Structure 1
Amino acid sequence: MAVEVIPTGRALGAEVRGLDLSKPLTSDEFEAVQQAWYDHIVLLFRGQKVSDDDLIRFSRNFGELDIAPASATDMAGGQALSRPEIWIISNVLENGKPIGALGDKEAEWHTDMSYVAEPPMASVLYSLEIPSKGGDTSFANMYKALEELPDDLRAAIEGRIVNHDSSTTSVGELRAGAGVVLDVRSAPGAKHPAIRTHPATGGKALYLGRRLNGYLEGYAVEESEELLDRLWAHCAKPEFSWTHRWRLGDLLIWDNRCAIHRRDRFDGSERRVMHRTQIKGDAPR
């Protein structure tokens, strides 16, 4: 079966059909997938049955993988049984301890690990267990968000640097060993341009990381807060987004360099288990 790419009809996202990701991709298949990814930012592969080794092999087509951080590998049982390149995203408790990260809370709009000097270029997420409802993942196109930014707001951030705070997770929890941020100007993390250029497509996109404790350098804190509030309200407009409702066996890959994403909360009494890989990137420019 030939590779078929079916756009969502929204601002981003496409389903790819005709591939069994438990098998290696041919060079022609990967070329088609990569071009579809550049074109649509988020790709969905439904009905997959892949092992951790398969997930790692597929992800490595795009580049070198990150290793799960201590915050993930310190979890009980589950993570220890997985490969070092696999991050378990789950609300499941075993012997009273979580087997994965992020639990069942709502995750606000963010870009994965933008608080490091060289953030991952992409994330791959595969569903093993899903709740009966909730836990949907939404994505927003930051190329389009920049293209439609009001002129005064674009002028205010052109050439500016955003400080990306590392103290909290995407569900708002304080990371182990991190202190409460009292002044956003000195929050720990990394500094990146507010507008970045995609190294493969050449497109320009907003690059904000996450709202909590963000700071737009060169402005008074009050001015930075006002500008960031306007930017995030703009990015969250429905016309820039697409929401994925998970099924078992769904596999998604998204481009962290030109998209933000969020997760809806779900009933914590139901199990949700996902396996994730991250593909290394470079410093935003």
Structure 2
Amino acid sequence: MGLSVEGEVARDIGGRPIEVISTGAALGAEVRGVDLKDLDISQFAALTRAWHDHQVILLRGQTLGDRDLIAFSRRFGDLDWAPVQETGRRFVEGLPEIYIVSNVTVNGQPIGSLGAGEAAWHTDMSYLDVPPMASMLYALEVPPSGGNTSFCSMYAIYQALPENLKRRIANLKIKHDGTYNSGGYLRQGVTATDDPRTSPGALHPLVCIHPDTGRRMLYLGRRRNAYLMGLELADSEALLDELWDFVARPAFTWEHVWRVGDLVLWDNRCTMHRRDPFDASARRIMHRTQIKGSAAPA
């Protein structure tokens, strides 16, 4: 989906104008006129407002080293350390904050995770008691086609639910599974199970209030092995299927086609995202950071 001319907002920040241009979809905006290595306080405040307004922001044409990416990310808060690779090594030695999403191998060893396959709709690390509040992904190499990332607005999805469904879910808690990652791979050190009642994970309210915007949102996390506490398994599965039916509807989504130098920042609390598969013989290298959450979803 292209950017919408309608909804363009020019903001003059200390003599250095930036533009916040809506995608025209339920979420997402491109921020122009910003060099993330030279971002003053006023520009950062405007960028943060755009992020809260649009849930996902895109900044194109950036030239960031890993230390630049970490420095910009830290302006939002403390950073999570990336999980250790399946090989037991850090993705980037000396920079534990960097997680590499890639299908590239060097000397037969993957340099990153998630390969070239599809990544299903999910919220990052929602299986933790305090998930990260935000994620950033920076494109170093992209395939000629495929590998697009789509986002959906959990504000818009909640608002679209019928009133009777909102009443049914108002006080429910959902267990967010920690068995498998978004690519369907078993997490390191976890025993495989497909029983949502016994799988590892964290409990969160199904309907939450965003701590910065005050807006109400649905907090689903991911579908596989999810479980609504206190319900019979069949009832939980049926209700979750009913809710997930809303997730991929075009009215609530925005698809991003990557270019080298793109940085995308998304709010991990009020969005979900997924990735298209791409040709495994093509190269895709993305570096990710995550900003720690300060409290459990509520």
Match of 2:240 in 1: 228
- Three-state SS of the structure 1 residue aligned to 2:49 is helix
Q: 1:14 to 1:82 in 2, by over 3 A?
A: farther
Q: Displacement of 1:179 after TM fit?
A: 1.7
Among 161, 169, 175, the alignment partner of 2:181 is 169
Cα deviation, residue 187, structure 1: 1.1
Residues 75 and 98, structure 1, Cα contact 8 Å, conserved in 2:
no
Which of 42, 59, 81 is equivalent to 1:45? 59
Aligned match of 1:10: 25
Q: Does the alignment pair 1:284 with 2:291?
A: no
Kept in 2: contact 1:153–1:227 (CA 8 A):
no
Q: Which residue of 2 aligns with 1:20?
A: 35
Q: How far off its partner does 1:73 sit?
A: 7.5
1:72–1:87 CA contact under 8 A, matched in 2: no
Equivalent position SS for 1:88? strand
> What's the CA shift for 1:72?
6.4
CA distance in 1, matches of 2:182, 2:54: 24
- Is 1:90 the counterpart of 2:102? The answer is yes
For the 8 Å contact 2:175–2:227, the answer to whether it is kept is yes
1:167 and 1:97 mapped to 2: Cα distance? 24
C-alpha contact 1:165 1:187 (8 A) present in aligned 2: yes
Percent identity between matched residues is 55
Q: Which deviates the most, 65-74 or 42-51?
A: 65-74
> What is the CA–CA distance in structure 1 between the aligned matches of 2:183 and 2:218, rounded to whole Å?
21
Query: Which residue in the other structure is 2:207 paired with?
Result: 195
Supply the distance in 2 between the matched residues of 1:130 and 1:41 (Cα, whole angstroms). 23
Q: Deviations over 1:17-44 (max 9, x none)?
A: 0111122x21101110010000000000
146, 149, 167: which is aligned to 1:155? 167
Distance in 2 of aligned mates of 1:86 and 1:212: 26
1:15 partner letter = E
What amino acid is aligned across from residue 208 of structure 1 in structure 2? L
**Larger proportion of helix:** 1
What letter is aligned with 1:4?
E
Say yes or no: does 1:64 pair with 2:85: no
**Structure 1 consecutive aligned stretches of length 4 or more whose deviation exceeds 3 Å:** none
Q: Which runs of 5+ in 1 are unaligned?
A: none
Q: Give the Cα separation in 2 of the matches to 1:171 and 1:45.
A: 26
Displacement of 1:82 in angstroms is 6.1
RMSD: 1.3
